[in-house]
Amino acid sequence: MTRVVGIWGRRALSSLLFLGYFPLFPGTVGSAATVAALWYFRESVGPYSGHIYFWLASLGVAALSVFLSNGHKDVYGGDNDPKQIVVDECAGQLITFFMVPITVRTLILGLLLFRFFDIVKPYPIHKFEELEDGLGVTMDDVVAGVFANISLIAILWIYHGLTGWLAGIG
């Protein structure tokens, strides 16, 4: 009985309360749920995600993802990165928004950037999938989140730099 409860608890947490079982694009559904939660908690976290608690939560979710993904072949079968496990998408999506103001525009752009890097997996992101067990499941998403974060900050810097420069012309 304990084994069954343990497996179901692990499935519930690793799939973000079974969102990972969504029939179409479960990774995107998990990422979108994370973005929706960020928008909901924006009032308590504040619009700026540079807060230390935000960073600690991001690292905590990443560590939880590694823990929950360890032994995933026993729970989900032989796949190296089972689609049902979406807590790793949550970790990567949170990292995407570190030090970024939380607005509707940044949430949408961050979601798109993270999904791009997570799906395409340019070098070196795809190399992290080769790590063993839960580390391999999680780290490709963490690195995709870092790539998305750097891209998002660069886009915001360019956008605000150009709009500020153009405003000075007029």
Rounded Cα distance between 57 and 35, Å, is 14
pLDDT at 81 over 80: no
pLDDT tier at 147, thresholds 50, 70, 90: very high
Q: Is residue 114 within 8 Å of 91, Cβ to Cβ?
A: no
Q: Vertex 166, ends 158 and 146: CA angle to 5°? A: 10
Q: Above 80 in pLDDT, residue 107?
A: yes
Return the closest-CA partner of residue 97 out of 48, 37, 155: 48
Q: Please give the model's pTM, rounded to 2 decimal places.
A: 0.86
- The amino acid sitting at 77 is G
C-alpha 155 chain-centroid distance:
19
Mean pLDDT of the chain: 84
